[in-house]
Amino acid sequence: MLNKNRNTILIVIFAVVVAIFLWSQFGTQNESNYRTVLAQFDTTGVDQVRVFPAAGTPDFTLSRSGNHWTIKSSDGKQYAADPKLVKNTIDLLNGTKVKRVASQNTADHEKFAITNDKGTRVEIKAGGKKLANLILGKFDYIQPKNAQPDASGRQPQGEMIFYAALPGEPTVYVVDGQVGFGIGKDVNSFRDKTLTNIDKSSIREVSMETTGQTTDRLVKDGNRWLFNDQVADSAKVAQYLSRVSRQNGSKFAEVNEVLSFPLANAVKISGVDFDEIVIRSYQQDSVNFLVTSTQNTDGVFLDNGNKLLDRFMEDGEFFLKAK
């Protein structure tokens, strides 16, 4: 009888041990077995970022040479890349933390857009060595559980997320929405959009030309500024120089040749410690204009209603004090 009880106890203990082992290894609810970070690497040596967007968009490669980044797409387009945008992408991907697990089933990849035709795959390399490789799927917004304002009257915030996975693995993870938004979906997402990027204190003269009209000039004369030989309002000049010294375009035009279009405006900015910058606006049709800058010869920007050039164009009503 004693031996029988002892055997029963041993069998029960053995069964419990086996169950605990199996649960710890294969239990679907045990998220502690999953990854907590999808990408972790040293950013200092990164010299290549490859992006494979969803189907229908050419893949592209960002490559670093010294401090300069270029972007080249699989359809042959090549441009200068904005190093700040590239750095932001690398920093966002590095240390990508997992919020939770969405699924461990490969069959759910389609639902979460973790597929070659729907997802965006990103590879990061340094000296030919692969540092990171992950797929970003669809975006989702999780409504707050409690929609009522808190005691201070602040509205509860929802959660912006992206679904992500590692190639060849079944698990789908939830990551912060900022990670997905930081990945450009096409070549233009990383292109340099600079029109002007200069120190405003270095500017000495700005000329503003409109086809068929006289040219207006803003010129520094000692400690004062003259607009068409009249003393300009110093506060207005300071406001204007701050504006024109740092300007970006927004939307790239799908044209490379602009000289066939009539010139509408030209703004020339000259000074010390930089080459003269010329911003030109060409009229494409009754609504759209094409804007170029000698500081960024890669870019031709689409300007609806010539609003972009209007940031550079001012007249005496703006610069001269009311009498």
Per-residue pLDDT at 252: 93
Say if residue 283 is in the same domain as residue 300.
Answer: yes
**Does residue 298 form part of some domain?**
yes
Boundaries of domain holding 301: 194-319
Say if residue 180 is in the same domain as residue 227.
Answer: no
Per-residue pLDDT at 31: 47
Per-residue pLDDT at 30: 47
Q: How far is CA 16 from CA 5, 8, 19, 79, 241, in A?
A: 17, 12, 5, 63, 77
Q: For the chain, how big is the Rg over CA atoms in Å? A: 29
pLDDT of residue 285 exceeding 80, the answer is yes
Report the alpha-carbon distance of residue 134 to residue 80 in Å, rounded: 25
**Does residue 218 form part of some domain?**
yes
* Total tally of structural domains belonging to the chain: 2
Say if residue 214 is in the same domain as residue 124.
Answer: no
Say if residue 131 is in the same domain as residue 239.
Answer: no
pLDDT (tens digit, 9 = 90+) per residue, 136-170?
999 998 888 776 666 676 777 788 999 999 999 99
**Does residue 215 form part of some domain?**
yes
**Does residue 175 form part of some domain?**
yes
Say if residue 213 is in the same domain as residue 181.
Answer: no
Mean of the pLDDT values across residues 175-188? 86
Q: How far is CA 117 from CA 55, 71, 104, 109, in A?
A: 5, 22, 20, 11
Instruction: Give the global pTM.
Output: 0.76
Q: Phi-psi bin for 321: left (phi > 0), alpha (psi -120 to 50), beta?
A: beta
User: For a pLDDT cut of 70, what percent of the chain falls above it?
Assistant: 87
**Does residue 284 form part of some domain?**
yes
**Does residue 20 form part of some domain?**
no
Q: What is the CATH number of the domain that holds 232?
A: 3.30.1490
Sign of the CA dihedral running 86, 87, 89, 94: positive
Contact indicator for 59, 53 with CB cutoff of 8 Å: yes
pLDDT of residue 23 exceeding 60, the answer is no
Per-residue pLDDT at 25: 47
pLDDT of residue 3 exceeding 60, the answer is no
User: For a pLDDT cut of 90, what percent of the chain falls above it?
Assistant: 70
**Does residue 84 form part of some domain?**
yes
Considering 169, 190, 211, which residue would you say is the last residue of a domain? 190
Say if residue 40 is in the same domain as residue 138.
Answer: yes
Report the alpha-carbon distance of residue 155 to residue 8 in Å, rounded: 59
Comparing CA positions, the residue from 120, 125, 53 lying closest to residue 90 is 125
pLDDT of residue 6 exceeding 50, the answer is yes
**Does residue 78 form part of some domain?**
yes
Say if residue 125 is in the same domain as residue 246.
Answer: no
Say if residue 91 is in the same domain as residue 198.
Answer: no
Per-residue pLDDT at 27: 45
Say if residue 185 is in the same domain as residue 41.
Answer: yes
Q: How many CB atoms lie within 10 A of CB 252?
A: 16
Per-residue pLDDT at 122: 95
Residue 119 backbone phi and psi in degrees, to 5 = -90, 175
Q: Which of 31-40, 136-145, 177-186 has the lowest mean pLDDT?
A: 31-40
Per-residue pLDDT at 154: 76
Q: How far is CA 210 from CA 65, 162, 274, in A?
A: 40, 48, 24
Say if residue 205 is in the same domain as residue 63.
Answer: no
Return mean pLDDT, the chain: 88
Say if residue 178 is in the same domain as residue 199.
Answer: no
Say if residue 209 is in the same domain as residue 185.
Answer: no
Mean of the pLDDT values across residues 211-224? 95
